[in-house]
Amino acid sequence: MLDSNTRKKASDKLRKIVGSEYITMHETDRILNAHDAWPLSEAKIRAGEMLPLADFVVFPGSAEEISKVLVVANELKIPVTPVGGGAGTCGGTLPIYGGIQLDLKRLNKIGEIDHDSMLIRAQAGVVGIDLEEEVNRHGYTTGHTPTSLRASNIGGFIATRSGGSMSSLYGKIEDLTLGLQVVLPNGSIVETKAVPRHSVGPDLRQLFIGSEGTLGVITEATLRLFPKPEKRRFRSFSFPDVHSGIEAIRKIFRVGIIPSVARLYDPEDAALTFSMNFEFDEGHCMLLLAFDGATERVDLDDNESTRICIEEGGTNQGEGPSKRWWEHRYDMYYPTRLTTAGYAIGDTIDIVATYDKLENVYHSMKKDMEAEDAVVMSHFSHMYQNGGSIYMIFFTSQPDAETAWNTYKRIWDAGIAACHREGGTMSHQHGVGLSRSSYTEDELGSGFGVLKKIKDALDPNGIMNPGKLGLGVRG
Amino acid sequence: MTEQGKIAEQVRMCAACPKMCRHVCPTFFAWRSDAPTPHGRALLLHQEITGLRNIDERGVEVLYQCLECSHCLTWCKPEIDIASLVENKRCDLVKSGRQPSGVNRLANFVKETHNPFGEKHSKRNDWLKTGSLNGPKIIYFSGCTAAYREKSIAQDTISILEYLGYSVAITPDEWCCGSPLFRTGDTATGLKQASHNVEVLNDINAEEIIVTCPGCYRALTKDYPENGFELDKPVQHISEFLNRLVDKLPQGDTNGSVTFHDPCHLGRHSGVYDAPRAVIERISGNPIVEMERNRENAMCCGNGAGLRTLFPEHAKMIGSERVRQALNINANCIVTSCPFCKEMLEAQSERRVAVFDLPEFVMQGIESRNVKTD
Ligand SMILES: Cc1cc2nc3c(=O)[nH]c(=O)nc-3n(C[C@H](O)[C@H](O)[C@H](O)COP(=O)(O)OP(=O)(O)OC[C@H]3O[C@@H](n4cnc5c(N)ncnc54)[C@H](O)[C@@H]3O)c2cc1C
Ligand code: SF4
Ligand code: SF4
């Protein structure tokens, strides 16, 4: 928290910039805006604990206002935590050192579609579903389909390098973002031009994609669009084990087929997710596929994938499980009595690795996390030519808060250690935030020093989201 | 589990929900903050129940910003009914005198003048013209908005009922139905209205009671009986009543595109979706062109539960958004079935689209037998 003198000075200046209506110091507002969807914050909220609060929540209306806010924050050395939809899963928006929460939800304008180039420009605070529905009206899709689409914002997607469940085909947000507007900590407003490719030095746009508010504030983006696919076909296969399922996926990509969805549920997750509605052998895995595109192309891809799956020992389960998953994909995120009872807590470690390491990462993480009192179930969630991501989902329930939070931490430590040991990377799409902050240096190795130097150069006073992404951690 | 235990369990679940329904909450739309949201409201209640923190003045405001539209409930898998939880809490706040002053003003107007606008009671319906005294007798309970602010709805309703062969009774003793009081937590004052209205309505010899306001409809059919005030004749919303007699209405033939805005109290709260649509289609002669958000998923107009009184600018933003949704589908005409919604949508339409309440739309059909909407 700030001392009262600094708070007063900041309050006067910020009020002049955004207007009194758009800054609040009410404790109620600071509490209700504090948290994102980090499961530890959610569990603490349920347990009746108070989370760290900002001194102010500020709702700027333009890049110019943000620029002025950052100049003031720099002058007074006040921490600034950007807030998008506030639905990140890593505690990225928690204002752990107080200061300003800079909530971008008022930046909600959607520009005109450029039909020739298939692009759209949108402000950072546009909610994902609002953009998707708007482009749908004109026959397009953004191709970005994370399950937080209804809650997260464009800026949040970009700031966390998020990925939709169809990223195999459409790409993650780093592939979908062509141009960016960013306000740097010193207040300068920087544009990176929207071009399909370029050869003018390193791609500065990529520096800010995934920077989680530690290098600046993303205010606008130019995003790619795709014509809505003529056909979307769902297909499912059960497999006797994880290995044969992964082999099938690997071979599908190897022959040049790019499904929009390729998800393999391990036996535990398959049982939980599908056994209520579909009959398949106990202990088997479930592979979900989807193909988007022109009907003839979809037929070809579907037939060839089916041939490969059967060759690898799969049993065709028709469109059922895959289609059902797509139609009910939001359901698992709603609170239930079981998952919110007592001191229950769960989370997902969304690791990523190449095919040569993927299965080892999976088995090692599962074993080591289970050794720490976790129930673990997993699915290989986003697959590509060279490897893919695993949702290592865990759950634990403990008799009291202290044991629960400690167990949660131990499960994370064990999972990340196993992931790193086996050559995996600790996040495919959720980002680092607070939950993975202390592992960042291990993850990036020699690269961490480079990131730190960039941070120091752009944000010498360390005002931007301190404590996240392993940067600006205070003693 | 006790009622209190159930409430505690629900707000505990909702307080830390990953914001699964926030995208449809109209007050989130208007304020673009995580405070006036379903999970925000639940968190306030949860912190009070766990003893962590009492609801302060700003918290009271956040609770009174809720439109009680129940749109969040449509999107909530665990079926947590924020509107009811908020309404319960508002009752406590009123009992302890902690409601916003605007709510007090409203209650005082109702106590003194029997309407929430502070208008003279004597002017409530002395201007309404009834004609034929033949045919079965039905009571028209106009409600306050049609009586004082949207007069053509009331007059057209009487004309339609008479056209259909009824003799319409209106009573100068009609008081506010109490809906604005029930919804803002002043149950005691609401029940005084209920007691009076039940006595007056039960004294009139008639077949049934027709209402045009879904707020009145919910009060008369739900709040009254739940609190022991029983009317001795059936209450029908005008949309249901007209649907029953739809064959007697003129079959229209129009070429404009007509959409229907579902009022929260009629749709989500009372389950009436098909009746108004059937009547509109009869009059217009064409299928309704639906907005993307319709029926259980319809957006609130922003005029509910006192929001327009307490936060007019934000209420108008919500109304404008609903109008935009109609313009998105190129509607020439929005028909609704609630004087409150009609008032808001018309005010925000800026003449880009025509707005009618159902009786007005039907009356046009009767008068012209060829409704032109474009
Ligand atoms: C139910 C649910 C399902 C999810 N499913 C997916 C999924 O399928 N795929 C996926 O990738 N993720 C998923 N997530 C995680 C999360 O929603 C995403 O990571 C999302 O990108 C976060 O966006 P947000 O707008 O909610 O960001 P926030 O939580 O508001 O912020 C996230 C981080 O970015 C920073 N930030 C936000 N906006 C800006 C900005 N404009 N400029 C600079 N920094 C900024 C914040 O400071 C914070 O560090 C899910 C989360 C939930 C709750
Ligand atoms: S009402 Fe339901 S969906 Fe909405 S925030 Fe609460 S629990 Fe989540
Ligand atoms: S009832 Fe309506 S205004 Fe209230 S929280 Fe739910 S969606 Fe929002």
Inter-chain touch A333–B20, beta carbons under 8 Å? yes
d(CA B215, CA B306): 12
CA-closest candidate to residue A49, choices A64, A34, A59? A34
For residue A59, the CA-to-ligand 1 centroid distance in Å is: 18
Report whether residue B360 contacts ligand 3, using a CB cutoff of 6 Å: no
Report whether residue B13 contacts ligand 2, using a CB cutoff of 6 Å: yes
Inter-chain touch A48–B40, beta carbons under 8 Å? no
SS3 category, B258: strand
Domain boundary among B243, B271, B288: B243
Inter-chain touch B32–A85, beta carbons under 8 Å? no
Domain shared by B215 and B189, yes or no: yes
Domain shared by B215 and B287, yes or no: no
Domain shared by B329 and B223, yes or no: no
d(CA A148, CA A131): 13
d(CA A394, CA B320): 44
Rounded mean pLDDT, A386-404: 97
Domain shared by B142 and B187, yes or no: yes
**A28 interface with B at CB cutoff 8 Å:** yes
Sign of CA dihedral B188, B190, B196, B198: negative
Ligand 3 atom with the shortest distance to the CA of B264: 2
Domain shared by B189 and B263, yes or no: no
For the purposes of burial, counting CB atoms within 10 Å of the CB of A298, is it exposed (0-12), middle (13-18) or buried (19 or more)?
Answer: buried
Candidates A331, A335, A337; nearest CB to B17: A335
Q: Are strands A226-227 and A140-141 parallel, antiparallel or unpaired?
A: antiparallel
Indicate which ligand has the atom closest to the C-alpha of B76: 2
Kindly state the helix (H) or strand (E) to which residue B157 belongs, with its residue range: helix B151-163
Predicted pLDDT at B369 = 65
A1-58 pLDDT, tens digit per residue, is 899 999 999 999 999 999 999 999 999 999 999 999 999 999 999 999 999 999 999 9
d(CA B283, CA B351): 22
Domain shared by B193 and B150, yes or no: yes
Whether residue B33 lies inside any domain: the answer is yes
Query: Percentage helix, strand, coil, to 5, in chain B?
Result: 55, 5, 40
d(CA A58, CA A104): 9
Domain shared by B231 and B254, yes or no: no
Report whether residue B25 contacts ligand 2, using a CB cutoff of 6 Å: no
Residues 6+ apart with CB under 8 A from B132: B162, B167
pTM exceeds 0.90, yes or no? yes
List the 127-146 stretch of A: residues with Cβ below 8 A of B.
127, 129-130, 133, 137
A272-298 pLDDT, tens digit per residue, is 999 999 999 999 999 999 999 999 999
Domain shared by B285 and B314, yes or no: yes
The identity of residue A61, as a single letter, is G
DSSP per residue over B322-360, as a string?
A: HHHHHHHTT-SEEEES-HHHHHHHHHHHTTSSEEEEHHH
Q: How far is A120 from chain B (nearest CA, A)?
A: 18
Inter-chain touch B33–A103, beta carbons under 8 Å? yes
Whether residue B303 lies inside any domain: the answer is yes
Domain boundary among B218, B243, B268: B243
Kindly state the percentage of chain A with pLDDT values over 70: 100
Domain boundary among B243, B271, B296: B243
Predicted pLDDT at B253 = 82
Determine the longest span between alpha carbons in chain A, in angstroms: 72
**A50 interface with B at CB cutoff 8 Å:** yes
d(CA A145, CA B37): 23
> Where on the phi/psi map is residue A470: left (φ > 0), alpha (ψ -120 to 50), or beta?
left
The domain of B77 spans: 3-99
d(CA A260, CA B373): 45
CATH number of the domain that residue B161 is part of: 3.40.50.1860
Q: Are strands A387-398 and A343-354 parallel, antiparallel or unpaired?
A: antiparallel
Rounded mean pLDDT, A137-141: 97
CATH number of the domain that residue B52 is part of: 1.10.1060
Whether residue B112 lies inside any domain: the answer is no
Counting Cα atoms < 13 Å in the Cβ hemisphere of A258 gives 10
Report whether residue B170 contacts ligand 3, using a CB cutoff of 6 Å: no
The 3-state secondary structure of B201-249, one letter per residue: HHHCCCCEEEECCHHHHHHHHHHHHHCCCCCCCCEEEHHHHHHHCHHHC
Helices and strands counted in chain A (H then E): 18, 18
In this structure, what token pair is assigned to residue A196? 């399909």
Residues A465, A92: contact at Cβ < 8 Å?
Answer: yes
Inter-chain touch A32–B34, beta carbons under 8 Å? yes
Q: How far is A129 from chain B (nearest CA, A)?
A: 8
Report whether residue B303 contacts ligand 3, using a CB cutoff of 6 Å: no
Look at residue A432 and tell me whether its pLDDT is greater than 50: yes
First-to-last C-alpha distance (Å) of chain B: 57
**B131 interface with A at CB cutoff 8 Å:** no
For residue B69, the CA-to-ligand 3 centroid distance in Å is: 5
Candidates A46, A87, A129; nearest CB to B16: A46
Rounded mean pLDDT, A211-222: 98
Whether residue B116 lies inside any domain: the answer is no
Whether residue B143 lies inside any domain: the answer is yes
Domain shared by B273 and B188, yes or no: no
Q: Provide φ and ψ at A292, rounded to 5°.
A: -115, 140
Whether residue B373 lies inside any domain: the answer is no
User: In chain A, which residue's Cα lies nearest the Cα of B55?
Assistant: A28
Angle between helices A355-370 and A242-254 (to 10 degrees): 150
Query: Percentage helix, strand, coil, to 5, in chain A?
Result: 40, 25, 40
Domain shared by B88 and B20, yes or no: yes
Q: How far is CA A45 from CA A401, B50, B299, in A?
A: 11, 10, 30
Q: How far is CA A309 from CA A11, A286, A287, A325, B105, in A?
A: 62, 11, 9, 19, 70
For residue A392, the CA-to-ligand 1 centroid distance in Å is: 19
CA-closest candidate to residue A103, choices A76, A126, A125? A125
Kindly state the helix (H) or strand (E) to which residue A268 belongs, with its residue range: helix A267-274
Domain shared by B162 and B81, yes or no: no
**A27 interface with B at CB cutoff 8 Å:** yes
The rounded mean pLDDT for chain A is 97
> Where on the phi/psi map is residue B185: left (φ > 0), alpha (ψ -120 to 50), or beta?
left
Domain shared by B317 and B341, yes or no: yes
Report whether residue B38 contacts ligand 3, using a CB cutoff of 6 Å: yes
Please state the domain count of chain B. 3
List the 338-357 stretch of B: residues with Cβ below 8 A of A.
none
Q: What residue ranges define each of the domains in chain A, with the CATH number in brackets? A: 4-106 (3.30.43.10), 119-227 (3.30.465.10), 231-333 (3.30.70.3450), 344-435 (3.30.300.330)
Residue of B32, B72, B321 to mutate when probing chain A, most A C-beta within 10 A: B32
Whether residue B105 lies inside any domain: the answer is no
pLDDT tens for chain B, 374 residues long, are 898 999 999 999 999 999 999 999 999 999 999 999 999 999 999 999 999 999 999 999 999 999 999 999 999 999 999 999 999 999 999 999 999 998 899 999 999 999 999 999 999 999 999 887 789 999 999 999 999 999 999 999 999 999 999 999 999 999 999 999 999 999 999 999 999 999 999 999 999 999 999 999 999 999 999 999 999 999 999 999 999 999 999 998 887 899 999 999 999 999 999 999 999 999 999 999 999 999 999 999 999 767 888 899 999 999 999 999 999 999 999 999 999 999 999 999 999 999 999 999 999 999 886 444 44
Q: How far is CA B296 from CA A8, A296, A406, B243, B274, in A?
A: 47, 38, 43, 20, 12
Whether residue B114 lies inside any domain: the answer is no
Indicate which ligand has the atom closest to the C-alpha of A217: 1
The identity of residue A258, as a single letter, is I
Residue of A25, A31, A58, A130 to mutate when probing chain B, most B C-beta within 10 A: A31
Angle between helices A401-421 and A355-370 (to 10 degrees): 150
Residues B357, B335: contact at Cβ < 8 Å?
Answer: yes
List, in sequence order, every beta strand (DSSP E) within B33-157.
137-141
